[in-house]
Every structure is written in C-alpha cells, then in structure tokens.
Chain A
Amino acid sequence: MQTSTKNIFMLAITACLVFLPAWAAAQDEPPAPGRAMARQAGVLSGDWTTADHSEMEALKKTFESGQQITETCLSCHSLADDQLFHTIHWKWLSPYEDGDLVGKAGYSINNFCISTNKMNDKKCSSCHIGWNGKEDGINCLVCHGEKDMDWKAQFKDYQFFKEMGEAELVTEIQNDISAAVTQIIRPDRQNCGSCHFNGGGGEAVKHGDLDASLINPRRTLDVHMGIDGENFSCTRCHTTSQHQVAGRVYSTPAVSERKSLVEDDLAPKISCESCHTASPHKEGKLNDHTDMVACQSCHIPEFARAHATEMTWDWSKAGKLKDGKPYIEKGKFGRPVYKSIKGEFGWEKNVAPQYFWYNGSVAALTAKDVIDPSGVVRVSHPVGERGEGQSRIFPFKVHWAMQPYDKVHNTLITPLLSEENNGYWKTFDWQDANTRGMALMDLPYSGEMGFVETTYVFPTTHMVAPKENTLSCRACHRPENGRLSNLAGFYMPGRDHFALMDLAAWILAIGALAAVGLHAIGRIVANGSRKENR
C-alpha cells in the first residue's frame, strides 16, 4: 500500500517536471515582431522630472491675472513663448501654407459650427490656448496644469470678492490658484482632451475616435492608452520638439517619411511603423498587406466604441421655438437630437468606418471656394489613389450636414453664431448672422441663402483595439457587403471574380479530374493484359 502511494507521488512529481517546462515554454512564445520592436522602442520612461514647481520661490506670490502667471513661467522658461508663437496651436493657421488661407483663424470651414469668423466668434476662442483668445498672451496651464480650472471665472470672482471685502473667499480662491500654478506636468490626456475631446461644440461631436472616454480608457478601447494596458499619454506618440507637436494631418500628412525608430531614433513616433515597423506580423501574408492597407483599417474595427459620436447635423432645421423659447431635445444616447440654436443631430455608437485611398493629406474647401450645390459638397475629402507611393486604404469618419450657402455666389456661408457676439444663437436671424459673419471674413454675401448637403472627413487613428478584436480577413475578402466593397479598380481575392475565368478554371479542374479518372480506369482495365504480355 505504502509503495503504491509513493509511486503515485513520484509519478505526479515526474509529470510536473515534464509538463511544467513545456507549459512555460508555450507561455514564452515570442511576440509578433512588430510587438517586440514596439516594446523595445517604448521602454517605460516613467513620468520623471528634475523640477518640483511647488518649491519655486517665483511661484510663491499672489496672482491676480493670467498674464502675471505667464510672466512668471517665462522668467525661467525664457524661450517658450517664442517657440509657441510659431505653432498652429497658437496661430490657428497652417504652418505649411503661406498667408492666412488655411486654418481655423483663416478661411477654413467645416460642417459643424462652420467657421470661427477669423477668431472673432468668442465661443470658438474658448479652445484657444491663450488667456483670452490671442489677446492676453499664452496660458501655459492649459497644457501644463494638472488641475482643471475655469480661469476666467476664477479671476473674475477673485476681483469681485476682493472689492466686496470678502476676505475668506479671496483667500480660498487665491489658495486654489496657488495650488494650480505649482502642479505642473507634461501634457496629459485631460490637457489635450480639454479641447480635442470636445471639438465641434461638445464632447464626442467632431472626432469619432477622440472623446472623453479616452481620459481613463480600458485596454479594450485603446491598447496604447488603456489604464490597464500601456497607459500612454498623448505625447507618447505625438512627440514634441520646441513646442511643435507631431501628428497634425489635413492639408499635409502627419509624417512625410514613414521611418521606424530603428532607421532614425529621432523620428517622431507618430506613425504605427515608427515603433511597430512595416513588417509587424508573424504571418507573412498579413505583412503583404502593409504597403496597401493602413494598420488602422484592420486594428480599429469600429470607432465611438464607448461614447456615441455625432454623425449628422442639419442646420436647416434650426430656429424652431417652444412657447417662444429655444429648446433642447435629447435622444437615445442622452445626447441632443435637436437644439433650436443648431438644428437636428444624429448620433451613432460602434460605427464601422468608411474606407478610402489616402496618402496622408486631406483636401478641404475654404469660404472663398465656389461650390456646385446640385450635389453633395465635399467640404473635405481624403487625397490619394491606388498605386501612388504613400497611398493606403484608410478608415474615416464621414460627417454629413446640411449647411447654409450663398445661392448667388455659390459659396459656403460663415454665419456669426455666438450669443456673446449677438449671433444667430441669440437672434435666430440668419440674414443678420450671415451678413455680419461674411463681413468679418471680408467676403461678399448676396442675401440669398439656401442649404446644401455637405460631407467632412476625419481619419480614424485612435481607439486601436487589442489584437483579438481586429477585423477578420472575411470582413473585406467576401463577395458581398464587405468593408471594402466601395473601392473599385483592383482585384481583391474573395471579393472579386470574373465569370469567364471562373468557368475556364472549373472546366480545367473538372477536365483534369476526368482525365486522371479515365486514365486510372484504363490502367485497371488494361492491367491484366499487360501481365500476360510479359
């Protein structure tokens, strides 16, 4: 009895010794080359710094205005303002084109709130990184402050309570200001997100792949930014040099050269290849795709996976009142489907992107361009075609709108909207809003307004899903309803077939089978007689 127990015990130990290393070996299966390279490139740097701003004497004083804070920052960071004045974040004008044509502060338009009227619309400027539009200098804390603060209200309250002699409140507000100016960080997700997650007048309105769900995302929403994954901040990929943040697309691509860090260790980490290389997969067949299909096309199966994003905006429905007052109606995602001041909206969640050939540039109309109102006007569209060097199939959010245009000049109109400017949102008077809005742009307005259908595109590049959630081959390689069914001009296995060739192939295949069969029968039948012959 005792020996048998011993035997079983020995057997168990042997089994463990044999199987455990095998199991461990299976666990140590090497990652895909692209993942291995990215891990190497992204050795965790941690959020380290050589300065603790709460110890700095210069910051231990009473601040009564934004400019005083900036002056103090610049007393040490003396080159920062000059660097920043050259960036698009300050200028709101494209750094790649001359003049003031392209950019929010120029003649660029979209199909959301349409235009900033050359930054005269006060509401738009709430996203500018200055204390008061471009008027009162840079607000460094928009990007470098850890604390979220309504600075305008804070200083207004400070002045008011100081004049009222409310000492207790004055101290309280000053303590808040003091805490905010000493908690200095490299830009984090909530800093960038305070504007980029709220573009177009609200959270998740503009971009389908950038919204407040990315402040603390799960890995399933974004493998790179997931707080239970790599926990990247935006600047991990949007690398920055002298306050120039890499990664702006639109009129020019985010990168002119697709380099990996192996080729150039100072290359911006902005494209997937920068860290993952151009042959990231274990399977060779998948790597054969990377010169034609952007990584995003398969690795971002849907956008707006956590929060619904706005997909349509109908300005022509704006202006309805209830009991003489503007109103808001909310839809199934808890988001507004009607606003008197803006019109009708459509929201969608888990949206499959639309796919286009894209070389990294987006062509866009300006308020000066003449349009053809008989069809859908593409306010912006991706540039690129198959066979062109950098062009790849890329996923996009396409935002549809009905927006005002000038029936005589055939141009898109830039109405003045904000309440602060006595714009349409206050007056509900299109004629007045259009006249004043176009005057601010120095553009003619005939007084005859119509509404035209427009589209505006956003490249989808955030919200990269974990590898187990990527698109399957069959999502595109299928005869009908595939993701790429709208892309013509090339042969794609599984999607395309030529009837004549198919017929020829079947005839060949069946013919070959028949020939082999007949030959075999012939051999069997002839077998006996051959023996006799010998």
Chain B
Amino acid sequence: MLRKLLCLFLTAGFVVALAGTAAAFEQGNERKGKYMFRKNCRSCHTEGASAEPLNPVSKTQAQWERAFQRYERFECADQWEDLSQSDRNDILTYLYNHAFDSPSPATCE
C-alpha cells in the first residue's frame, strides 16, 4: 500500500515538473510571428535605432513569456495594443521557440 502511494506521488511529481517546463501558452504560427516581429518590433529594436536591439536570443523563454504577460508596462504599450491577441501569440511563439535557452536559439537575419 505504502509502495503504491509512493509511486502515485512520484508520478504526480513528474507530471507537475513536466508541465512546468512546457509553455504556458498555446503555440501559434511561428513563421507569421517572425514576420510580425520584424515588421512591428524590429523597426525600433535594432542597432542604431531608438530602442534596445532585440532578437529571439536576447531573452530566455521565461523572460519572453513574462514580457508578453505584462506588456502594459512598456513604453510602446500602445503599439502592443494595436496588435491582435493572435498576432501577439504568434510573435511570442517565434521568440519562445528561438530564445536563448531554447533548443534552436536564433538571431534575426
């Protein structure tokens, strides 16, 4: 009985741990996200422009997620608002999948 209970706890523990590493958002269209990122974000977030240069590898997956959950605090919150929820989700998908700690980190071309 004790053994069964232990097994159950361990399994439950694994499931929780696995869920923690997976994205807390639904994956969108990564390719579209890449385009939207280039079009909407990179115009300012690039070297020599008005804002800090940003690439997918500039942040970790967790940092990107946090940024997208609380974008209201950014100076360019208005531009974020202009995008639809699904656009934002596509951009996050692109950045998340190529973040610094992702399996395939990427900079923009």
Task: Provide the bound-state CA to CA distance between A160 and B33, in Å.
Answer: 13
Complexed CA–CA distance, A164 and B35 (Å):
14
- The reply on B88 being an interface residue by CB < 8 A is no
Given contacts A152-B109, A153-B38, A153-B109, contact A203 B47 (CB under 8 A): yes
How many residues belonging to B are interface residues under a CB distance threshold of 8 Å? 9
Q: Are B48 and A157 in contact (CB under 8 A)?
A: no
> Whose C-beta in chain A lies nearest to the C-beta of B34?
A157
Near A by CB (< 8 A), chain B positions 26-72 give: 31-32, 34-35, 38, 47-48
A197-B48, A203-B47, A212-B48 known; A166-B32 Cβ under 8 A: yes
Annotate A155-170 by CB proximity to B: 1 below 8 A, 0 otherwise.
0010011001010010
Contact between A150 and B47, CB atoms less than 8 A apart = no
Distance in angstroms between the alpha carbons of A203 and B48 in the assembled complex: 7
The residues of B that contact A198 with a CB separation of less than 8 Å are 47-48
Enumerate chain A residues within 8 angstroms of B31, measured Cβ to Cβ: 160, 164
Which of B38, B48, B108, B109 gathers most chain A CB within 10 Å?
A: B48
A: contact size bracket: 10 to 19
A161 adjacent to B35 (CB under 8 Å): yes
Q: Which residue of B lies closest to A420 (CB)?
A: B109
Closest to B107 in A: A419
Across the interface, do A202 and B109 meet the contact criterion of CB distance under 8 Å?
A: no
Identify which of residues 149-199 in chain A touch chain B, using a CB-to-CB cut-off of 8 Å.
150, 152-153, 157, 160-161, 164, 166, 169, 197-198
Could you say which residues of chain B place their CB within 8 Å of the CB of A157?
34-35, 38
- Do residues B38 and A202 form an inter-chain contact, with CB atoms below 8 A? no
Contact of B38 among A150, A160, A164, A212 (CB under 8 A): A150
Q: Which residue of A lies closest to B109 (CB)?
A: A153
- Chain B binding surface, main DSSP class: helix
B1-30 CB contact bits vs A (8 Å, 1 = yes)?
000000000000000000000000000000
Question: How far apart sit A152 and B109, CA to CA, in the bound complex (Å)?
Answer: 9
Q: Provided the pairs A152-B109, A153-B109 are in contact, do residues A169 and B35 lie with their beta carbons within 8 angstroms?
A: yes
**How far is A212 from B46 in the complex, measured between Cα atoms in Å?**
12
- What is the CB-to-nearest-CB distance from B46 to chain A, in angstroms, rounded to a whole number? 10
CB distance from A205 to the nearest CB of B (A): 10
Q: Mark A217-248, 1 if CB is under 8 A from B, else 0.
A: 00000000000000000000000000000000
Given contacts A153-B38, A153-B109, contact A202 B32 (CB under 8 A): no
Residues of chain B with a CB closer than 8 A to A153's CB:
35, 38, 108-109
A478 to chain B, nearest CB (A): 38
**Residues of the B chain whose Cβ atoms lie less than 8 Å from the Cβ of A152:** 109
- In the complex, which residue of chain A has the Cβ closest to the Cβ of B42? A150
| Nearest Cβ on chain B to A391's Cβ, whole angstroms | 36
Q: Which residues of B contact A166 (CB under 8 A)?
A: 32
- A197: chain B residues within 8 A (beta carbon): 48
Residue in contact with A169 in the complex, picked from B32, B47, B48, B108, CB distance below 8 Å? B32
Which residue of A is nearest B47, CB measured?
A203
Interfacial chain B residues near A212, Cβ < 8 Å:
48
Query: What are 20 of the A-B contact pairs (CB < 8 Å)?
Result: A152-B109, A153-B38, A153-B108, A157-B34, A157-B35, A157-B38, A160-B31, A161-B32, A161-B35, A164-B31, A166-B32, A169-B32, A169-B35, A197-B48, A198-B47, A198-B48, A202-B47, A203-B47, A203-B48, A212-B48
The 10 closest A-B pairs by CB, nearest first: A212-B48, A203-B48, A157-B35, A203-B47, A153-B109, A153-B38, A160-B31, A202-B47, A152-B109, A150-B38
